[in-house]
A = this chain, B = another copy of it.
């Protein structure tokens, strides 16, 4: 049997449609982002393209003033209770071709294809008593009427002990494998709001193993339960450690605690997930127009630095075709992104209300990284040298990876960092 930890040896890097398009992304829009990525970002390690929530739903976004998710509405579904791409939005899905044509497009450009799913089975299937592939049971036999998602009306949770339950999850992953899906983000499951969620995570894992395809399993939404860390590590590749993250300092600030909490759980095939990078042009699906990232430039570097040294999965939220030069520069800094690929042992060594300090080791050369975050006003940020030394860093000079400038800290107690900013030093 394959080892799920080999499906994602380093943190997955890619783009996700949600932060810009919400529920309403179309095939054409996805393709434009795929093309941009292939041409501009692929060489820096970006490879996944993930179509987020409700690709199966009709009329998404048409009642945005009332609902994010229109309840009791039409979805595209096959005879086996399996959701299919909505042909309004994904014309290539016509004729029963499902997600395969789009997956092919992605693969042809050398990238990988991901989709979002909701935990459970469609409510429409349960009420229509539709069949389950590979079982004589029907949707109403495995759907649990009291097991629902609190924020999305599409599905019923599945009774894990019901005959047909595993078969249903097997059937959808068999279909995704057929299409050529490389990455599945399963929602309404990570926080384990429903008691069945823990068992459903195991069922997803088993379905992937049976599918024969190396599909990365990503769990949402957070915050994940740290007391279930072993469970996530054993059955999934990444799990969200925060609720939906957006471009506000009040949301970025607690990420330092969240990374502290999960730092001992990062390793091959196992990545606590800080959520999408809220950079560039965002939010068109939410307010009809979208907005530029509300973070200052320094805050953006802080986010990138923390995600990289912690080694979170990296999913760009911005509409790629509208990327400005500054944002692009953040996403194409080979030295910074290199931490995702060739660093390990990252540890927070200090945190208080004003500053946070992390250290990590390079795995390819005998070098170390030192990240200094300023949570407060611009100024000198003291470095706790004893702890830095105890970590193993003896050098006091290096290169700041965002600026490329040499830094000499010998005899210095501190380094200047702008308000809410970060310095990421490679020490040697």
Interface of A toward B, CB cutoff 8 Å: 1, 3, 5, 71-73, 123-124, 126-127, 129, 140, 143-146, 148-151, 153, 226-227, 229-230, 234, 260-261, 263-265, 348-349, 351, 386, 389-390
Contacts and interface: CB of A to CB of B under 8 A. Distances in A.
A196 to B, nearest CB: 14
Nearest to A145: B153
A264 B229 CA distance: 9
Q: Most chain-B Cβ atoms within 10 A of its Cβ — which of A72, A127, A351, A389?
A: A72
Contacts of A140: 71-73
A149 B145 CA distance: 9
A261 B146 contact: no
Nearest to A1: B386
Contacts of A149: 146
A127 B72 contact: yes
Nearest to A269: B390
Contacts of A389: 3
A229 B390 contact: no
Given A5-B390, A386-B1, A261 B148 contact: no
Given A226-B226, A261-B230, A143 B1 contact: no
Contacts of A1: 386
Contacts of A148: 145-146, 148
Nearest to A69: B145
B348 A230 contact: yes
Contact of A71 (B71, B143, B351): B143
A360 to B, nearest CB: 15
Given A71-B126, A146-B151, 5 more contacts: A1-B386, A71-B145, A123-B127, A229-B264, A230-B261
A74 B343 CA distance: 57
A134 to B, nearest CB: 21
22 contacts: A1-B386, A3-B389, A3-B390, A5-B390, A71-B126, A71-B140, A71-B144, A71-B145, A72-B140, A72-B143, A124-B127, A145-B148, A145-B153, A146-B148, A146-B153, A148-B148, A226-B227, A229-B261, A229-B264, A230-B263, A230-B351, A264-B265
Contacts of A72: 126-127, 129, 140, 143, 145
A285 to B, nearest CB: 20
Contacts of A230: 260-261, 263, 348, 351
A73 B229 CA distance: 39
Contacts of A150: 146
In the A-B complex, the 5 residue pairs with the smallest Cβ-Cβ separation, listed nearest first, are: A145-B153, A3-B390, A1-B386, A71-B145, A264-B264
A342 to B, nearest CB: 20
A310 to B, nearest CB: 13
Contacts of A264: 229, 264-265
